[in-house]
């Protein structure tokens, strides 16, 4: 089981006591493949394990089923829950897809296929599954973080502890993303279902970021450039 990219694009504190930290995790069944079972069967298999874990740990809140995941609710007062997404490997198909479109398959080795109960092939054995790649995304974002940190050190910005592991680095890019998320939360406080999801903000910010070495300059460059990475086609935004 692996966690999503939140270590590189840091989560922010919930806006109020009614909100919770959302810990995203993936449970990859590496010995299974899309041709051996349906999305529904895979999701039920994981659900049984998650429910057994909750019983073994005497967790009082029932395990909830989400659209793509199982939701493990922790005790009152903890203010966080874990979303666990079932998955199977999908790196071969993803690499072929990227090659066919002339795109860089650099991050394809960690690609996965996930479940979605609203998908048209959810209950049948099919090669058509929703695609995802949280590890690849995390590695891509990490490359942005490490690249900037190397530049900061080359230009005289020194960490207090030279041996600090890269996952603890907080660059201007990460700080700027946290500010954008807080602004998003406040702007859509009464319209939660309409707010842009964090991965969209993070991706646009990372593309727009020019390697600025201060938070203020990072925000300026991101806010003036991020719309360039939004594509519009036939009324749809991507």
Q: Which residues pair with 28 in a beta bridge?
A: 87
pLDDT one-digit tens code per residue, 182-199 = 999 889 988 888 888 888
Q: Residue 168 class from Cβ within 10 Å (0-12 exposed, 13-18 middle, 19+ buried)?
A: exposed
Which H helix or E strand runs over 113? Answer: strand 112-114
- Report residue 160's pLDDT band, with 50, 70 and 90 as the boundaries: very low
Strands 80-89 and 70-73: antiparallel
The DSSP symbol for 15 reads S
Which H helix or E strand runs over 184? Answer: helix 172-187
Q: Is the dihedral of CA 5, 145, 221, 21 positive or negative?
A: positive
Q: Domain ranges in the chain?
A: 2-136, 138-237
Q: Rounded to whole angstroms, what are the CA distances from 103 to 95, 99, 107, 201, 228? A: 9, 6, 11, 23, 20
Which H helix or E strand runs over 154? Answer: helix 134-154
- Report residue 161's pLDDT band, with 50, 70 and 90 as the boundaries: very low
Report yes or no on whether pTM surpasses 0.85. no
Give me the mean pLDDT over the 4-28 stretch.
67
Percent residues over pLDDT 70 in the chain: 78
């Amino acid at each position: 089981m692996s966690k999503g990219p939140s270590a590189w694009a840091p989560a922010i504190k919930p806006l109020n006591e009614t909100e919770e930290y959302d810990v995203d995790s993936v449970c990859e069944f590496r010995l299974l493949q899309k041709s051996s079972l349906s999305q529904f069967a895979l999701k039920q298999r994981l659900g049984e394990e998650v429910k057994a874990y909750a019983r073994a740990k005497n967790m009082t809140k029932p395990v909830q089923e989400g659209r793509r995941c199982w939701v493990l609710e922790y005790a009152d007062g903890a203010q966080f829950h874990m979303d666990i997404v079932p998955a199977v490997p999908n790196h071969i198909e993803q690499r072929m897809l990227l090659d066919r479109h002339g795109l860089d398959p650099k991050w394809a080795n960690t690609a996965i296929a996930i479940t979605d109960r609203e998908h048209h092939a959810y209950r049948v054995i099919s090669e058509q599954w929703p695609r995802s790649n949280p590890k690849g995304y995390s590695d891509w974002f990490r490359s942005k973080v490490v690249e900037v940190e190397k530049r900061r050190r080359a230009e005289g910005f020194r960490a207090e502890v030279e041996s600090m592991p890269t996952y603890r680095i907080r660059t201007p890019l990460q700080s700027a993303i946290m500010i954008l998320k807080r602004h998003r939360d406040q702007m859509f406080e009464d319209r939660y279902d309409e707010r842009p999801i964090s991965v969209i903000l993070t991706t646009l910010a990372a593309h727009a970021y020019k390697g600025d070495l201060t938070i203020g300059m990072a925000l300026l460059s991101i806010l003036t450039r991020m719309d360039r990475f939004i594509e519009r086609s036939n009324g749809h935004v991507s």
